[in-house]
Amino acid sequence: MLDSFLTFINQQKLHLSGQRTLLTISGGVDSVVMASLFHKAGFSAGFAHCNFGLRGEDSDQDEVFVRELGEYYGFQVYTKLFDTKAFVKENAISTQMAARDLRYPWFEKIRKENSFDWIATAHHANDSLETTLLNLVRGTGIAGLHGIAVQNNFLIRPLLFATKDEILDYARQNNLSWREDRSNQSLDYKRNVVRKRIVPVLKEMNPSLESTFLITSEKMRAAESLLTEFLENWQKDAVRQTDGQLHISISALLTSTEPAYRLWHILNNYGFRYSQVMQIAKSLRALSGKIFHSDSHMLLKDREDLILKPIERETITDSVIINKSEGDYSFADDCLHMSPEIKQPGLEIEKSKDIAYVDGDMLSFPLMVRQWLSGDIFCPFGMKGKRKKVSDVLIDLKLNIYQKEKISVLVNGNGEIIWVIGIRTDERYRITDQTQTMIRMEWIRKI
């Protein structure tokens, strides 16, 4: 088995020689065999053992056993006692989930503090098979069909080549001792139901089930890799990023095969479920304006694109009061800079959507900057005093909902809108021959 172990490590390019690996040792046969193989291979390692305190004296004896095993091999041992029951109660989660949430952050802490290169768990081929079966029951994509990954960042599983029977044979042939966890026999855990009831039935149909699964798992991993490469190449033309938002071309989706799956490949990373993505795909030919949400993001169905952006958690300032015609005034993440200028012949007025000049004599302080409201009306510059709703102007400009959310207005003390900021000033505040003092206003946007 040592030869198979070393061959597997070389095939997976784990490069453990000359590096330090933190072995997660429970005291069970799987982790004991992993420790033996690392010792025989001459790899530098340490032990990390979690005492979850769930089995009373048995849990304490597991810790004693691991300490003695580490001393026998000459490996440094790190242990920690967790109050698992309290963690379960505080977080309203299962015991298995609590154990996972407690142990992996602690393993990573030990790795960083003690300069280990890797964290190794003793998952084997049967664990990978059971994981795939559980994923099938819960619902999964291709990634869930190839079982447990050999490597995930600093976390490695160097025993995935071996079956449970091979591990037990090695332990007996080498006279290894290990601890038995009685909870592994309990059918209260879904994984144990799969292990004790489902896998035996499947093995009756295929006695070489584990070996067959390892081959199938490799095929699924390769298929996922090829599919991911294909979709990422397609994504280069179909997706672009603008102002912190992801724009997904509706046309690119509608002219491609399997648009829902292509879309899920993108949105899965932002918390959208496949059932949601199917609804989004069905809406691609519908009118624009519909919004879909995940826990962290919102997706707008616009005219030509699906536009994805994070849900902003911070509270935006409702308004800012301006008491004089000179100074800087912050509103949300932007800033309004105001400065008075004497009107002079030949004075050149800058042309920019974020710069406006108004008649200072028309202003009635205090002014206010606020977000636009649905009932706002003003007289757009160039329309000779004709009144128009701000909402209609924004519709004419074909702004999407996200863009509309960012529009603010500058309001005079008498309630009239002076400037729909970045869009258009009000005709009533234009510079005329009678203007004595101009106010230059610049909207400085967040970079």
pLDDT digits (tens, 9 = 90+) for 218-240: 999 999 999 999 999 999 999 99
Instruction: Please give the pLDDT value at position 435.
Output: 87
- Mean pLDDT (whole number) for 192-214: 94
* Residue position matching structure tokens 């902003």: 312
User: Mean pLDDT lowest for which of 28-42, 87-101, 244-258?
Assistant: 87-101
Whether the model clears a pTM of 0.85, i.e. scores above it, the answer is no
Angle between helices 29-41 and 57-73 (to 10 degrees): 10
Distance in angstroms (rounded) separating the CA atoms of residues 423 and 378: 12
CA distances from 440 to 331, 338, 349, 356, 372 (A): 18, 6, 9, 6, 21
User: Mean pLDDT lowest for which of 165-169, 290-294, 310-314?
Assistant: 310-314
How big, in percent rounded to 5, are the helix, strand and coil portions of the chain?
A: 40, 25, 35
pLDDT reading at 77 higher than 70: yes
Q: Which of 22, 62, 47, 102 is nearest to 183 (CA)?
A: 62
Percent over 90 (pLDDT), the chain? 73
- Mean pLDDT (whole number) for 301-308: 94
Determine how β-strand 245-249 pairs with β-strand 239-242.
antiparallel
The widest CA-to-CA distance across the chain, in whole angstroms, is 103
- Mean pLDDT (whole number) for 124-153: 92
pLDDT reading at 447 higher than 70: no
Spell out the residues 6+ positions from residue 252 whose beta carbon is closer than 8 angstroms to its own.
234, 237, 238
User: Mean pLDDT lowest for which of 62-76, 184-198, 219-233, 378-392?
Assistant: 184-198
- Mean pLDDT (whole number) for 168-180: 96
CA distances from 264 to 272, 296, 403 (A): 8, 16, 25
Average pLDDT value for the chain: 92
pLDDT reading at 314 higher than 80: no
Specify the DSSP class assigned to residue 82.
-
Token couple for 295:
């826990």
Instruction: Please give the pLDDT value at position 316.
Output: 46
Instruction: Please give the pLDDT value at position 334.
Output: 87
Query: Residue 368, Cα to own-chain centre: how many angstroms?
Result: 38
Domains and CATH numbers, the chain: 2-219 (3.40.50.620), 243-310 (no CATH), 319-444 (3.50.40.10)
pLDDT digits (tens, 9 = 90+) for 108-129: 999 999 999 999 999 999 999 9
SS3 assignment, position 308: strand
Instruction: Please give the pLDDT value at position 3.
Output: 96
Which of 10-14, 116-120, 138-142, 404-408 shows the highest mean pLDDT?
116-120
Distance in angstroms (rounded) separating the CA atoms of residues 254 and 381: 40
To 5 degrees, how large is the angle CA 233–CA 234–CA 240?
95
Q: Which of 412, 447, 187, 167 is nearest to 334 (CA)?
A: 447
Distance in angstroms (rounded) separating the CA atoms of residues 174 and 310: 56
Instruction: Render 316-365 in DSSP notation, one character per residue.
Output: PP-EEEE-SSSEEEEETTEEEEEEEEE--TTPPPP--TTEEEEEGGG--S
User: Mean pLDDT lowest for which of 81-85, 111-115, 202-206, 401-405?
Assistant: 401-405
Distance in angstroms (rounded) separating the CA atoms of residues 220 and 228: 12
pLDDT reading at 315 higher than 50: no
Grade residue 317 by pLDDT with cuts at 50, 70 and 90: low
pLDDT reading at 349 higher than 80: no
Q: Is 142:264 a contact under the CB 8 Å cutoff?
A: no
Specify the DSSP class assigned to residue 195.
I
Percent over 70 (pLDDT), the chain? 98
Grade residue 346 by pLDDT with cuts at 50, 70 and 90: low
Exposure of 400 in the CB half-sphere (CA atoms within 13 A): 19
Instruction: Please give the pLDDT value at position 50.
Output: 95
Grade residue 29 by pLDDT with cuts at 50, 70 and 90: very high
SS3 assignment, position 395: helix
